[in-house]
Amino acid sequence: MTTEITDAIQQRRSFAIISHPDAGKTTITEKLLLLGQLIQVAGSVKGKKADRHATSDWMGMEQERGISVTSSVMQFPYRGRMVNLLDTPGHEDFSEDTYRTLTAVDSALMVIDGAKGVEDRTIKLMNVCRLRDTPIVGFVNKMDRDIRDPIELLDEIEEVLKIEAAPINWPIGMGKEFKGVYNLYTDTIHVFEQGKNYVLTDDIRIEGLDSDEARELLGVYYDDYVDEIELVRGASHEWDQDAFLAGKLTPVFFGTALANFGVREMLDDFVEWAPAPLARNTETREVDPVEEKFSGFVFKIQANMDPKHRDRIAFMRICSGRYTKGMKMRHVRLGKDVKIADAVSFKAGERELLEEAMSGDIIGLHNHGTIQIGDTFTEGEVLKFTGIPHFAPEMFRRIRLKDPLKTKQLQKGLQQLSEEGSTQVFFPMNSNDIIVGAVGVLQFEVVAYRLKDEYKVDAIYESVNVNTARWVESEDDKKFEEFKRKCSDNLALDGGGHLTYLAPTRVNLSLSEERYPEVAFRSTREH
Ligand code: GDP
C-alpha cells in the first residue's frame, strides 16, 4: 500500500455518539455538521420536537415523531482529519441497531445532560463499548441551564460508568450565569456568547486565568474560581492518552450544544486524540487496517432510505485496504465474486456515488436481497468478521392484512424490513400466520408505518401467544429430527431461513430445553 494511502487511513476518525434520549445528541450532531461545513446554518432545533428537522433525522416518520429511527453516516474533513460520524437511533427500542453500529466505530462521543447526569441508556451503551474497550470522549451538555455540581457529575461518571474521568475544561458558572469554560491544559478561557447558535462564530478567548481579562470576566467570583480549579486539578484524573486509548479514561468537556458552545473545542481535541482505524478480529486472524487487500463487514441494512430510489442499502465498514469504483469483491458467505461499481457514500442523508474509500470508512452497497447483516466482503480471502450480534426478539404480534390480495407485497415488505435487523419475521411451520418479533413495542409502529408508506400495505396487528424465541440447532441429527417432529407446532423459519423455536411461555421454553438437551436454544445469533 502506498504511504499516501496509509497516511490517509491514519487520518480517519470513525465514531458514533452515545447518549440517553434528550441529552442533546441530535443538537450536537447538527453542530458537528456545521463545523464540518456539511451544512451552513443549523436547522431549527426548537424545544418542540415535532417541528425541528435536524439533518440526521431524514425519515418522514422520524420527523413526525421526533426520534431517530435509523442510523446514517456523515463524512467530513476537519483539521486535516477525515471524520466519519455514524448516527445511532436514540430510542431504546432500536438498541440492536445501535449496538451493531458500535461494532463499526473506533471511538465514541458520550453526551450527558448536565442536569440529569448519567442515565440508563448511557450505562447500557457504555457496557457495549466496553466489550471492545472503545475509547470514549465525554461531553457534559446544557451548561446554559442550571445543571448539577460538575464535581458531583465527574464522580458519577467514574462510579456509575466505571471509567476514570479527566476534565479537560471546567465551566465558569452555569445557567444564566454561565460565562464560559476554562481549559485546564492550555490555560485559556473560552468566553460564552449568547445567541450565536445557528452559525459558526469566531471564538473569544482569554489567555491565562491569571490575566486582567480573566479577573474582569469573573468579577467577584474570581478568587473562589481559582480555588475551585486548584481543587479540581488535585482531585480529578489527569488526561492520559494511553489510558484513553485503552478505554480506561474519558476526557470530559463542558458546553452547550444548543448554544453551539464548547463543541468546537471538544471536536478539535477529539480528532487529535481519537484512534485511527483499529484492527478487527475475524474467525481466523486479526485484520490490520493498512493491509493492502480490501475487506469489510456489513453492520446494517436499510430499505428504501431514499423514497426516490426505492432500494436497499447495506452499510459496510471497511476494515482493510481500499474500495475503488468497479472493483471485484468476494461475497464470502455466498462464495461469489461481484463487481461493485455503484457503492455510495453518505453526506447527511444525501448519497453520492463513490470513487474511492478506505479503512475506517463506511460505504453503502446496493442490496438486491443477497446481503445480510454480518456478511464479510474481501478480495478473495475467506474471512469472517466476528462480534456482530443479533438478539432474539422479546415481543410478538401476528400480522393480518386488511386486503388479503396484498399477501405478496406484505411478505416482500416484511422480508426486506427484517433484513435490516431491527424487526424479525417468522413463518410458523404449521400455519399460514406471519409473526413479527421485535425488541421493543415502538418497532411495531415503525413496521406498520413503513409497510403502509413504502409498500402500500395496510396491516393489522394482533396479539399472539408467543413469549420468546430461540434459534435452535443440534449436532445430533437424529435427535434434532425427533425434536422437529414433536415440536413442529412451535417451530418457525425466520426471515433468513433459520429454524426458530417460538415459546408460548418461559416455562414451556425451560421444559423443552430440559427435554431436548442435545438441542441448543440460542438467544443471540452472531451473523
Ligand atoms: P436527543 O434526543 O439526544 O437527540 O436530544 P436533542 O438534541 O433532541 O435535544 C433534546 C432537547 O434538549 C431539545 O429540546 C434541545 O433543544 C434541548 N437541548 C439540547 N442541547 C441543549 C443545550 O445545550 N441547552 C439547552 N438548554 N437545551 C438543549
Q: What DSSP string describes 492-522?
A: EEETTS-EEEEESSHHHHHHHHHH-TTEEEE
Query: How far, in Å, CA of 433 to CA of 416, rounded?
Result: 18
Q: How many residues does the chain have?
A: 527
- Could you tell me if 159 and 232 are in contact, meaning their C-beta atoms sit under 8 angstroms apart? no
**pLDDT tens digits, residue range 92-101?**
556 677 888 8
Within 105-156, strands assigned E span 107-113, 136-141
Q: Which three cell numbers stand for residue 15?
A: 465514531
CB neighbours of 332 closer than 8 A, spacing ≥ 6? 375, 376, 377, 378, 382, 383, 384
Query: How far, in Å, CA of 350 to CA of 39, rounded?
Result: 12
**pLDDT tens digits, residue range 316-371?**
999 999 999 999 999 999 999 999 888 887 655 556 678 889 999 999 898 877 88
Nearest ligand 1 atom to the CA of 111 is 3
**pLDDT tens digits, residue range 447-495?**
888 888 888 899 888 999 999 999 999 999 999 999 999 999 999 998 8
Stated pTM of the model: 0.80
Residue with cell 485503552: 246
Domains of the chain, with CATH numbers? 15-56+106-274 (3.40.50.300), 281-378 (3.40.50.300), 392-526 (3.30.70.3280)
**pLDDT tens digits, residue range 19-28?**
998 999 988 9
Cα→Cα distances 109→94, 227, 496, Å: 19, 30, 34
In angstroms and rounded to an integer, the radius of gyration of the C-alpha atoms of the chain is 25
Distance 22 CA to ligand 1 centre (A): 6
The DSSP secondary structure of 215-246, one letter per residue, reads HHHHGGGHHHHHHHHHHHHHHSPPP-HHHHHT
User: Sorting pLDDT into bands at 50, 70 and 90, what band is 414?
Assistant: confident
Q: What is the mean pLDDT of the chain?
A: 86
Query: How far, in Å, CA of 141 to CA of 90, rounded?
Result: 16
Q: Which of 31, 56, 119, 258 to mutate to test the pocket of ligand 1 (most atoms within 8 A of CB)?
A: 258
Residue 198: the pLDDT is 57
Query: How far, in Å, CA of 407 to CA of 432, rounded?
Result: 11
| Binding site per annotation, positions | 19-26, 87-91, 141-144
Query: How far, in Å, CA of 213 to CA of 471, rounded?
Result: 66
Cα→Cα distances 249→246, 317, 367, Å: 8, 26, 39
The predicted model gives 206-225 an average pLDDT of 95
Share of the chain above pLDDT 70, in %: 87
Q: Which residue has the higher pLDDT, 139 or 404?
A: 139
Query: Pocket around ligand 1: residues whose beta carbon is below 6 Å from it?
Result: 19, 21-27, 45, 47, 90, 141-142, 144-145, 256-259
The closest residue, in CA terms, to atom 28 on ligand 1 is 258
The closest residue, in CA terms, to atom 21 on ligand 1 is 258
Sheet holding 344-347, edge to edge: 336-340, 327-331, 376-378, 295-303, 312-320, 362-366, 344-347, 350-353
| Binding site per annotation, positions for GTP | 19-26, 87-91, 141-144
The closest residue, in CA terms, to atom 24 on ligand 1 is 142
**pLDDT tens digits, residue range 29-59?**
888 988 887 766 655 333 334 334 444 444 4
Q: Which three cell numbers stand for residue 62?
A: 422520524
User: What is the predicted ipTM?
Assistant: 0.99
Distance 140 CA to ligand 1 centre (A): 12
Q: Which residue has the higher pLDDT, 107 or 352?
A: 107
Distance 411 CA to ligand 1 centre (A): 39
- Per-residue pLDDT for 219 more than 80? yes
Residue 56: the pLDDT is 47
3 state SS of 435: strand
Q: Beta-carbon neighbour count of residue 478 at 10 Å?
A: 9
Lowest mean pLDDT among 151-165, 194-208, 393-407, 511-525: 194-208
3 state SS of 300: strand
Q: Which residues of 113-140 are buried (b: 16+ CB within 10 A; e: fewer)?
A: bbbbbbbebbebbbebbeebebbbbbbb
Residues β-bridged to residue 44 = none
Nearest ligand 1 atom to the CA of 49 is 14
Query: How far, in Å, CA of 396 to CA of 436, rounded?
Result: 6
**DSSP letter assigned to residue 92:** G
User: Sorting pLDDT into bands at 50, 70 and 90, what band is 202?
Assistant: low
- Per-residue pLDDT for 75 more than 90? no
Distance 258 CA to ligand 1 centre (A): 6
Closest CA to 407 of 451, 450, 462: 451
- Per-residue pLDDT for 509 more than 90? yes
Residue 417: the pLDDT is 79
Residue 216: the pLDDT is 95
User: Sorting pLDDT into bands at 50, 70 and 90, what band is 311?
Assistant: low
Residue 197: the pLDDT is 57
Q: Which of 22, 94, 110 to mutate to test the pocket of ligand 1 (most atoms within 8 A of CB)?
A: 22
User: Sorting pLDDT into bands at 50, 70 and 90, what band is 71?
Assistant: very low
Q: Beta-carbon neighbour count of residue 338 at 10 Å?
A: 14
Q: Which of 27, 109, 139 to mutate to test the pocket of ligand 1 (most atoms within 8 A of CB)?
A: 27
Q: Which residue has the higher pLDDT, 171 or 307?
A: 171
- Per-residue pLDDT for 437 more than 70? yes
User: Sorting pLDDT into bands at 50, 70 and 90, what band is 191?
Assistant: very high
The predicted model gives 71-89 an average pLDDT of 84
Distance 276 CA to ligand 1 centre (A): 29
Query: How far, in Å, CA of 53 to CA of 129, rounded?
Result: 29
Distance 47 CA to ligand 1 centre (A): 8
- Could you tell me if 484 and 519 are in contact, meaning their C-beta atoms sit under 8 angstroms apart? no
Distance 296 CA to ligand 1 centre (A): 35
Query: How far, in Å, CA of 186 to CA of 478, rounded?
Result: 70
Dihedral Cα 411, 413, 414, 416, nearest 10 deg: 120
User: Sorting pLDDT into bands at 50, 70 and 90, what band is 67?
Assistant: very low
Residue 195: the pLDDT is 63
Q: Which three cell numbers stand for residue 197?
A: 447558535
